[in-house]
């Protein structure tokens, strides 16, 4: 079934078309939700909300851009909305521990990890760091755009990304350090 036909069927409420759409994009949406969420449960909630939005706003989709990009944007926006909702409670996590990770900002190209391990490291990041890291490094947004989206200063976005990178590198180094004795 063509993408356009699939969308039109979904708009009409065709259950089989909705099933096809879910099959096609569920992995993509779940991957995005897992990256922005703290744990799997939170990711599932976010995924549910994202798909409900997708089904309800299909009629608003303009054929100008790619449909996959549109779906991705809805999933990211849903994750950001969730982050904003709990922003007040999460501010306590934003502790300035730059000194701790200042020396760890070294590129390590030969760190081996699985995707599950990488995801655990990303989810272990503080909420603000994780969101900025995902938006900047993975989605490709500019710091100015991130500042507007999260309603934070551009410099805050930059510093949070820097700290997120440091956290992640250290977590990956620790992971590889744990692996070495096991392998030897």
Comparing CA positions, the residue from 52, 47, 59 lying closest to residue 7 is: 59
Q: How far is the CB of 179 from other proteins (least distance, A)?
A: 16
Residue from the set 76, 82, 163, 165 that interacts with other proteins by CB under 8 A: 165
Residue from the set 27, 99, 103, 184 that interacts with other proteins by CB under 8 A: 27
Residue carrying structure tokens 């997708």: 54
Is 18 near other proteins (CB under 8 A)?
yes
Q: How far is the CB of 88 from other proteins (least distance, A)?
A: 26
Q: How far is the CB of 61 from other proteins (least distance, A)?
A: 17
Residue from the set 9, 30, 37, 149 that interacts with other proteins by CB under 8 A: 30
Which C-beta is closer to other proteins: that of 30 or that of 70?
30
Is 106 near other proteins (CB under 8 A)?
no
Comparing CA positions, the residue from 74, 82, 49 lying closest to residue 150 is: 82
Q: How far is the CB of 111 from other proteins (least distance, A)?
A: 9
What are the DSSP calls for 20-86, one per residue?
A: HHHHHHHHHHHHHHHHHSSSHHHHHHHHHHHHHHHHHTGGG--TTS-HHHHHHHHHHHHHHHHHHHT
Is 131 near other proteins (CB under 8 A)?
no
Distance, in Å, from the CA atom of 132 to the CA atom of 19, rounded to the nearest integer, reads 33
Name the segment binding other proteins (CB under 8 A); options: 17-25, 83-91, 141-149, 151-159. 17-25
What are the residues whose beta carbons fall under 8 Å from the beta carbon of 61, sequence distance 6 or more? 7, 67, 70
Size of site (CB under 8 A) for other proteins: 34
Residue from the set 17, 34, 149, 150 that interacts with other proteins by CB under 8 A: 34
Structure tokens given for 176: 């590889």
């Amino acid at each position: 079934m063509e993408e356009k036909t699939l969308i039109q069927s979904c708009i009409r409420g065709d259950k089989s078309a909705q099933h096809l759409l879910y099959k096609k994009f569920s992995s993509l949406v779940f991957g995005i939700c897992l990256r922005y969420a703290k744990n799997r449960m939170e990711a599932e909630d976010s995924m549910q909300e994202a798909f409900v939005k997708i089904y309800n706003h299909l009629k608003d989709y303009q054929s100008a851009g790619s449909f996959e990009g549109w779906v991705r944007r809805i999933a990211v926006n849903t994750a950001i909305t969730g982050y904003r909702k709990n922003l007040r409670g999460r501010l306590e996590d934003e502790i300035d521990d730059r000194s701790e990770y200042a020396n760890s900002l070294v590129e390590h190209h030969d760190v081996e990890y699985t995707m599950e391990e990488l995801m655990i490291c990303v989810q272990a990041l503080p909420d603000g760091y994780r969101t900025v890291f995902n938006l900047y490094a993975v989605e490709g947004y500019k710091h100015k755009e991130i500042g507007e989206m999260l309603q934070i200063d551009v410099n805050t976005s930059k510093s949070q990304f820097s700290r997120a990178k440091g956290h992640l590198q250290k977590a990956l180094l620790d992971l590889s350090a744990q692996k070495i004795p096991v392998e030897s």
